[in-house]
Amino acid sequence: MQITELKDFAIDKIEDIKARDITVLDVQQHSTITDYMIIASGTSKTHVKSIAEYLVVEAKKAEIEIIGIEGRESSEWVLVDLGDVVVHVMQEQARDFYQLEKLWN
């Protein structure tokens, strides 16, 4: 799967489960770790965890390699690493505090 297809796949899946305020950052010029970061919000810990878990399940179905998953226990900020695309699903409070969009822009 090409990078743009992987990015579009991740966006589609998190939209399916009602992720909010989805932002896509092209970090190719700033990072050697990944090409795109997708940042999305969930309305609660349960919603954040559900968004991330749904993305993982769908990625496995599509035979997309999952490099890692972090933050499932607290579910305030869950990171799903798909290699060329890293998805951050955060509660609003965590997103406001860490301001990843400002950090990477």
Total domain count for the chain?
1
CA 4 – CA 50 distance, rounded (Å): 24
Residue 31 predicted with pLDDT over 90: no
Has this prediction a pTM greater than 0.75?
A: yes
Range of the domain at 72: 3-104
How would residue 75 be classed by pLDDT, with cut points 50, 70 and 90?
confident
**H helix or E strand, kind and range, residue 67:** none
Q: From the centroid of its chain, how far is CA 35? A: 13
29-33: average pLDDT? 83
CA distances to 5, 23, 44, 84, 88 from 73, in Å: 29, 24, 13, 24, 15
Tell me the HSE value of 77 on the side-chain side, using a 13 A CA sphere: 13
* CATH for 93: 3.30.460.10
